[in-house]
Amino acid sequence: MAIFEYKALNSKGKNVSGVIEAETINLAQSKLKQMNIFPVSLKGIDAKVPINKNKQFFSSFDISFSRISTSDVSIWTRQLAVFISSGIPLAKAVSTLAAQAKLKAFKKILSRVQHSIEEGNSFADALSNHPRVFSLIYINMIRAGESSGTLELVLEQLADILENREYTKNKIQAALAYPALMIIVGFFVLIFLLVNIVPKIVTIFQDMDQMLPAPTRILIATSDFLKVYWWALPLIAIFCLLSLHFIRRTDKGALFIDRFLINLPFAGSILKKLIAARFSSTLESLLSNGIPILTALNITNSTTGNKAVSNLISDAMITVEQGGNLGESLDNSKYFPELVAQMITIGEQSGELEKMLRKVANLYEKEVESSITTATALVEPMVILVMGVVLGFIILSICLPIFEMNQFIQ
């Protein structure tokens, strides 16, 4: 079906706007009139004429590959919560927000969600048709909110979760941006020196009859190699990235890489805290909305992003299913901080598991932020130190033959 955007008047003469799905523009007009909406303007989102089959194909292609960010979903969720709490019907709220969406792909998805709701499907079922945009935890929390009659509260909670995750991601990216820029600039400066500057300087040593110092020979060999095979560097980088990507797609490869990352000396500690915060926050949100613990653990398992932790949670699910405690199954784990299991155990024993999970999530969210700040403060001088060592080696390699020449002259 084609998707049309309309501006119209309702039965009370008020201006309304939205989107509607129909085979042709005439059918779209008929649908609107049946809803007591009288269009002033009506046009296809992708074109001013009805969308043919080829355009429908490219429309689906556009939805599949357009980048709809977590931030877009978060803002929409917050706005929808406001609409629902104001007493606006769900389909109407989704339609209004679809018309306001800036991304065409998101506009189309929201339009399909709206029409699915109007056809009698639940909100959660309508969202489940778009798993690339709405995650499993998102859909299940919406389903829980619909069944309990607290949809607006669940939407606000989801918006908080998405905003916190986006904030953490932006914090990490901002922390790594400057060191990454320094490494990239330093690498290209080093290549420039080795390919263009060093060869001109070391030519004065080629007529010497004596053996050059080892650092100078290493520098000359490296410079000669890069002059001839500089093109191999980007190919090697691309090959390594592609190899890592394909290894990551296998179960054994993903498990090996994830275990390696989580066991790194400093970065691994931050990763553990980040996983603990996400695990606790997600599980608390699901449990507080009445989702059974096994279902909640299964959904949480899909959001860890780490194969080693995922296997641990799967084992914990088996323990819980057999009547055991979640805290005990996570105890002595290498992939969670010890405090996580202890707090969960206390929560299970006191009957306040959700409260304890929220405390754990808040604690480790703050610790992740603090650790990132500390890591940034350490990485920058380390990058400068490494660059200084490399430049020092180049200078030393050039100066050693000169010192030997002076001694020979004396």
Where along the chain do its domains lie? 2-134, 160-410
pLDDT in the model for residue 49: 37
Handedness of CA 344, 347, 351, 355 (dihedral sign): negative
Region of 66 on the Ramachandran plot (φ > 0 left; ψ -120 to 50 alpha; else beta): beta
Asked whether this chain's domains 2-134 and 160-410 adopt the same fold, the reply is: yes
d(CA 332, CA 328): 9
Region of 305 on the Ramachandran plot (φ > 0 left; ψ -120 to 50 alpha; else beta): left
Tell me the C-alpha to C-alpha distance, in Å, between residue 209 and each of 37, 100, 206, 394, 405. 95, 78, 8, 22, 11
d(CA 410, CA 404): 10
d(CA 218, CA 224): 10
pLDDT in the model for residue 239: 93
Amino acid at 228: V
Contact 191, 95 (CB under 8 A): no
Secondary structure class of 6 (helix, strand, coil) = strand
Secondary structure class of 3 (helix, strand, coil) = strand
Amino acid at 58: F
d(CA 299, CA 282): 9
Residues pairing with 38 in the sheet: 9
Task: Specify the length of the chain in residues.
Answer: 410
Q: What is the DSSP track for 19-80? A: EEEESSHHHHHHHHHHTTEEEEEEEESS-SS---HHHHHHHHHHHHHS---HHHHHHHHHHH
| Of 119, 127, 121, 107, the residue nearest 31 (C-alpha) | 119
Q: How would CATH label the architecture of 2-134?
A: Up-down Bundle (1.20)
Question: pTM of whole model > 0.85?
Answer: no
Backbone angles phi, psi at 237, to 5 degrees: -60, -45
- Unique residue bearing structure tokens 């920058």: 380
Rounded to 5°, the CA angle 313-317-322 comes to 150
| Of 227, 258, 226, 265, the residue nearest 244 (C-alpha) | 258
Q: What is the DSSP track for 292-332? A: -HHHHHHHHHTTS--HHHHHHHHHHHHHHHTT--HHHHHTT
pLDDT in the model for residue 53: 39
pLDDT in the model for residue 238: 93
pLDDT in the model for residue 369: 83
d(CA 404, CA 387): 26
Q: Which CATH superfamily is domain 160-410 in?
A: Type II secretion system (T2SS), domain F (1.20.81.30)
* Element at 219 (helix H, strand E): helix 214-229
pLDDT in the model for residue 359: 92
Q: How many CA atoms lie within 13 A of 310 on its CB side?
A: 14
| Of 276, 390, 409, 269, the residue nearest 330 (C-alpha) | 276
Q: What is the pLDDT along the chain (410 residues), one digit of tens a residue?
A: 566 777 776 666 667 677 676 777 777 777 777 777 777 677 765 433 333 434 343 344 444 445 788 888 989 998 998 888 888 888 888 888 888 888 888 888 888 888 888 888 889 889 988 888 888 788 888 888 888 788 888 888 888 888 888 887 887 788 778 888 888 888 888 888 888 888 877 777 666 666 778 888 888 888 888 888 888 888 998 999 999 889 888 888 888 988 898 888 888 888 888 888 888 988 888 888 888 888 888 888 877 778 888 888 888 889 888 888 888 888 878 888 888 888 999 998 888 889 999 999 889 988 888 888 888 788 878 888 988 898 888 888 888 877 776 665 55
d(CA 53, CA 359): 53
d(CA 7, CA 18): 7
pLDDT in the model for residue 47: 37
> What strands lie across the sheet with 15-22, from one edge to the other?
15-22, 2-10, 37-44
Tell me the C-alpha to C-alpha distance, in Å, between residue 54 and each of 24, 37, 130. 14, 30, 21
Contact 159, 74 (CB under 8 A): yes
Contact 137, 70 (CB under 8 A): no
d(CA 371, CA 364): 10
pLDDT in the model for residue 29: 75
| Of 218, 229, 226, the residue nearest 196 (C-alpha) | 226
Secondary structure class of 243 (helix, strand, coil) = helix
Instruction: Give the number of other CB atoms < 10 A from CB of residue 236.
Output: 10
